Structure 1
Amino acid sequence: MARPYRSVLYIPTANTRAMEKARQLAADAIIFDMEDAVVPGEKAAAREHLTEALANDYGPRALIVRINALATEWGEDDARLCAGELASRIDAVLIPKVEGAADLDRAAALLPDTKLWAMVETPLGMLNAAEIAAHPRLEGMVMGTNDLAKDLNSRFRPDRLPMQAGLGLCLLAAKAHGKIILDGVYNAIKDEDGLRAECEQGRDMGFDGKTLIHPAQLAVTNEVFAPTEAEIELARRQIEAFEAISATGKGVAVVDGKIVENLHVDTARKTLDHAEAIAAMAG
Structure 2
Amino acid sequence: MDLRLCRSLLFLPASNPRAIDKARGLDADMIFLDLEDAVKVEDKASARRAAVAAAAEGFGGRPVAIRVNKLGDPWHQEDVAAVAESAADVMIVPKVDSAAEVRAIRAVGGKPILAMIETAAGVLDAQNIAPLTAGLIAGTNDLGADLGLPPGAGRSGLILSLQTIVLAARAAGVAAFDGVFNRLEDEIGLAAECEEGRGFGFDGKTLIHPNQIEAANRIFGPAAGEIDAARRLVAAATGGAERFEGRMIEIMHVDQARRLLARARLPA
- Normalised by the length of structure 1, the TM-score is 0.89
How many residue pairs get aligned? The number is 265
Can you list the C-alpha shifts for 1:197-225, whole angstroms capped at 9, x where unaligned?
Answer: 00011111110100000000000110001
Letter of the structure 1 residue corresponding to residue 108 of structure 2: L
Q: Provide closer, same or farther for how the CA distance between residues 2 and 79 of structure 1 changes in structure 2, counting only shifts above 3 A.
A: closer
In 2, the alpha carbon distance for the partners of 1:240 and 1:61 equals: 30
Deviation at 1:226, TM superposition (A): 0.6
Q: What is the RMSD of the two structures over their aligned residues, measured on CA atoms?
A: 1.6
Q: Is the 8 A contact 2:93 2:113 kept in 1?
A: yes
Q: Following TM superposition, where does structure 1 have runs of at least 4 consecutive aligned residues deviating by more than 6 angstroms?
A: none
Structure 2 residue corresponding to 1:217, chosen from 212, 228, 249: 212
Residue number in structure 2 paired with 1:76: 77
Residue number in structure 2 paired with 1:28: 29
Deviation at 1:114, TM superposition (A): 1.2
In 2, the alpha carbon distance for the partners of 1:198 and 1:157 equals: 14
Residue number in structure 1 paired with 2:127: 130
Letter of the structure 2 residue corresponding to residue 237 of structure 1: R
Deviation at 1:167, TM superposition (A): 0.7
Per the alignment, in what secondary structure is the counterpart of residue 30 of structure 1? strand
Letter of the structure 2 residue corresponding to residue 6 of structure 1: R
Q: Give unpaired runs (5+ residues) of structure 1.
A: none
Can you list the C-alpha shifts for 1:37-82, whole angstroms capped at 9, x where unaligned?
Answer: 0111111111122233234231121100000012111000011111
In 2, the alpha carbon distance for the partners of 1:193 and 1:203 equals: 15
Can you list the C-alpha shifts for 1:94-145, whole angstroms capped at 9, x where unaligned?
Answer: 111111111111111221x31111011100100111010122xx11111100
Structure of larger gyration radius: 1
In 1, the alpha carbon distance for the partners of 2:256 and 2:103 equals: 34
Letter of the structure 2 residue corresponding to residue 123 of structure 1: A
In 2, the alpha carbon distance for the partners of 1:31 and 1:142 equals: 12
Q: Give unpaired runs (5+ residues) of structure 2.
A: none
Deviation at 1:28, TM superposition (A): 0.4
- Normalised by the length of structure 2, the TM-score is 0.94
In 2, the alpha carbon distance for the partners of 1:28 and 1:98 equals: 24
In 1, the alpha carbon distance for the partners of 2:56 and 2:93 equals: 23
Q: Is the 8 A contact 1:241 1:254 kept in 2?
A: no
Q: Does 1:41 align with 2:42?
A: yes
Deviation at 1:275, TM superposition (A): 1.5
Deviation at 1:157, TM superposition (A): 4.4
Letter of the structure 1 residue corresponding to residue 76 of structure 2: G
Per the alignment, in what secondary structure is the counterpart of residue 193 of structure 1? helix
Q: Does 1:189 align with 2:184?
A: yes
Letter of the structure 1 residue corresponding to residue 54 of structure 2: A
Residue number in structure 2 paired with 1:66: 67
1:84-163 superposed matches below 5 A: 84=85, 86=86, 89-111=87-109, 113-135=110-132, 138-155=133-150, 156-158=152-154, 160-163=155-158
Q: Is the 8 A contact 1:13 1:49 kept in 2?
A: yes
